[in-house]
Chains A and B, each alone.
Chain A
Amino acid sequence: MKPTIAKREPVVDDAMDQTEAKLRPEQIQKVINEVIDKETGGRLWTYVNTCIHCGLCAEACQWYLSNDRDVSYAPVTKIKDTIWVMLKNKGAVDAAFIKRCAEIAYTECNLCRRCGMYCPFGIDIAYMLLVVRRICAKLDMVPLYLQDTVHSHAATMNQMWVKPDEWIDTLQWQEEEGQGYVPSARLPLEKEGAEIMYSVIGPEPKFLAQLLGNITAIMKVAGLDWTMPATAGWDNSNMAMYSGDFEVMARVERLHHETAQRLKVKKIVMGECGHAFRGAEYDGPTWMGWMKPPIPIVHAISFYYDLIKSGRIKIAKKAEGPITVQDPCNVIRNGGLGDKLRYIMNAVCAEFVDVTPNKRHNYCCNEGGGVINC
């Protein structure tokens, strides 16, 4: 196979440059073969051997389309330039190759899984790029911005280096803000036996704290029995899933679910984050050996759909003007919540204008998959 000619602006990433200088060929080969032999199986080989190199996946990819149909961005090319080479060479590749694999897998693919829908055989190309990420993660060849976030998950069990007291203090502050909307509102901390544990992503206490005040008011108006943990385990996001550091991913997900078990809630309601839904609903439980989350998870779209449809909350005033929506891949294409999202949009917007293509055929926003850290 000839390497693909890929015209790219040079990317400086201190972390990846330092790793490239340190990696030894035998170390690379060992890790690649360990991952291939012990962490993959029939799925990978079926995908690799089934692909007929037709290139139909290209038209699915927003990277390919938005770069003037540059073939180097086509999903099949990304596979050809990464995992195929690793398999063909039985792991005998150099550090520069691993660095290029990391650039492709982490920054030129969002793992949105649109290409898999356009493949005539349904090959999950994103899975293969996640295998590439796994290899890169074990070699510490991860972009700096992403690895720092994974370290935050590992050290604090949340995405944004939020310390335990900062978390609780923020909730207590936002309880007061929520009372600004609904004076009798309360944000119940550590209430064992509540119906719902509400969990959020790290950026909420860090940058978007008002969302916690908002949910405090909404829960009160809807008359729901809910709680939030005052311990680690409150964050449902998981960038380790996207870096390929599955051990950190599993630890974060385990704590999230065990926190719900400890609080004896019936379900976890989570905020809007799509990747967090994927991690908490699928990838985390799968690694743990759980068929599904041991405490059921309800995504915000389903939650608000139920609240509005049942009349538990009423929309006092619709947002004016034409408003559209971007279908998040992990909850729409991969989670099937497209119709519920539109019900909500029509309920809260005076003039909802849909996108084309939409629902499961949506284009990725290009932020997901850990390409941009939210």
Chain B
Amino acid sequence: MPDLGNWDWKSKEKMIADTAEWKARFEDVWEPYVSPDGEKIASIVKIGEGEFNVCVNGETWEEPYEKLWYSRFSPDGRLTVLASKDMEWTMAVDGKAWENSYEYIWDTKFSADGKVIAATVKQDDVYGIAVDEKTWECSKELQSIASYVISPDGKTVAAIAQTVPLGQADLEGFLKGTWSVVVNGKPWQNNFVDLYGLTISNDGKKIAAEYRAAICDYGIVVNGAPWETTAGCTWEPVFHPNNNDVVTAPVRQGGRWFLATNGTFVWDKGFTNILYQTYSPDGERIAATVATSFAKWTVAVDGQPWRTKFGECVLQPYFNPDGTKVAAIAKDRGFWFLVVDGTVLGDGAYYDNIWPPVFSPDGDKVICKVEKHGKYAIAVNGKIWGSKYEALWDPVISPDGTKVLIRGIEDKKYYRRIVPLASM
């Protein structure tokens, strides 16, 4: 994580930019992005026929490009954009392009502190990962990269990659295994029919994924070593936050889903489905989204489902800092609800959209971005608090837990506001 303590938590309000002025200046202004600290707002802007630039707080970069897309701020506040000129692509960071260019580049990711920037690249029909401008050196010519993960410290990057060429309609070759995991450029020794759900331990030392051994035969593999048993189906595994020897995944047996750790069922009760298993910060508890029966969705904590059920879906659960509470976003009858420990917050308040919630350090307040009737707002414990915005980003709680950073656009003006948590 970047050092949030260095952010400005004192200024009550800053009007960073008037985006209405941008609309007058440029032929087209794309949707804006804001930096994590809220100090910058940026949009890709069209400045002429086949000519694009990036506008940050009203200032454009020195150099325009023929194409720009995927503008994303790194956690430490640098703006990355994928940029093309003369039929070649590269990464532009705060207006400065990487020295290397590529046939194509996509899927920018960052280390937790933002110091490391990575992206998938293709050059001369060979795929790889570029980390801070340096492309992997791999012993095999990678045929494709499906996805990749980066460790929090940015030192380990692992990808699901096709390591073996495959001819058209070569069913036999496909079932021999053409996919592997490549870690910092080094492929695992074994290949698999398919790989999914790649994940990396917090210390970056272990990689886990789902693998497909054959038609309807799935398992979990950790650093190349499969679990002893396979299942009819699996979903993505997760690592224990503090113990990289412990991996947990939903597995399907006999038409029911169970939660298994290192290959052994830890929830003996089967569900119609289990998704998004999540450890508490200390790793002592596990929550997951479950369907107890068809169209009855809820959250189960340590295998025990909430009494309240939702008819459409429940998204990923979130623990509070001490692991005693769990929040989730649920959908029923076409509306979204914020739920904590099985209770719908805000006296049953419902929204058109809800973004991931954050708990206050003491767990008393749950804060999130919500949407209703085309406007965005901050909701505290499920109830709308303060102004309504034309655009809004997720709230951030200060390291000392006393203030909240709110980043939003009102009347086309982008504001950065600091609000005492106690006042919300």
Contacts and interface: CB of A to CB of B under 8 A. Distances in A.
Contact of B273 (A148, A288, A292): A288
Interface string A270-301: 00000000000000001011111010100000
B273 A289 contact: yes
A99 interface: no
Contact of A193 (B69, B214, B216, B353): B353
A193 B352 CA distance: 11
**SS class, residues of chain A in contact with chain B:** helix
Contacts of B120: 164-165
Interface residues of B, number: 54
B218 A184 contact: no
A230 interface: yes
Contacts of B353: 193, 264, 266
A261 interface: yes
A232 interface: yes
A288 to B, nearest CB: 6
B216 A247 contact: yes
Contacts of B293: 289
Contacts of A155: 146, 162, 174, 178-179, 194
Contacts of B172: 18
Given A165-B106, A289-B297, A138 B171 contact: no
A306 interface: no
**SS class, residues of chain B in contact with chain A:** strand
B266 interface: no
Interface string A164-176: 1100110010000
Contacts of B174: 148, 151, 155
Contacts of A231: 107
Contacts of A168: 104, 106
Interface in A239-262: 245, 247, 250-251, 261
A158 to B, nearest CB: 11
Interface stretch (B3-11, B16-24, B307-315, B359-367): B307-315
Contacts of A83: none
Contacts of B252: 247
B136 to A, nearest CB: 16
Given A245-B216, A261-B315, A184 B28 contact: yes
B225 interface: no
Interface stretch (A61-69, A139-147, A328-336): A139-147
Nearest to A296: B334
B61 interface: no
A151 B170 CA distance: 10
A191 B104 contact: no
Contacts of A154: 193-194, 212
A251 B211 CA distance: 13
Contacts of A138: 215-216
A164 B106 contact: yes
Contact of B104 (A38, A169, A289): A169
A291 B215 contact: no
Given A38-B255, A289-B295, A294 B31 contact: no
A137 B215 contact: yes
Contacts of B67: 172
A189 interface: yes
B215 A140 contact: yes
Given A165-B122, A230-B106, A264-B353, A294 B312 contact: yes
Interface in B158-214: 162, 168-169, 171-172, 174, 178-179, 193-194, 196, 212, 214
A359 interface: no
A191 B144 contact: no
B36 to A, nearest CB: 16
A289 B298 CA distance: 12
Interface string B265-303: 000000011000000000000000001011101000000
24 contacts: A38-B254, A144-B169, A148-B168, A148-B174, A154-B194, A155-B178, A155-B179, A164-B144, A164-B145, A164-B146, A165-B106, A186-B30, A191-B31, A247-B232, A247-B233, A264-B353, A266-B353, A289-B291, A289-B295, A290-B295, A290-B297, A291-B295, A292-B312, A294-B312
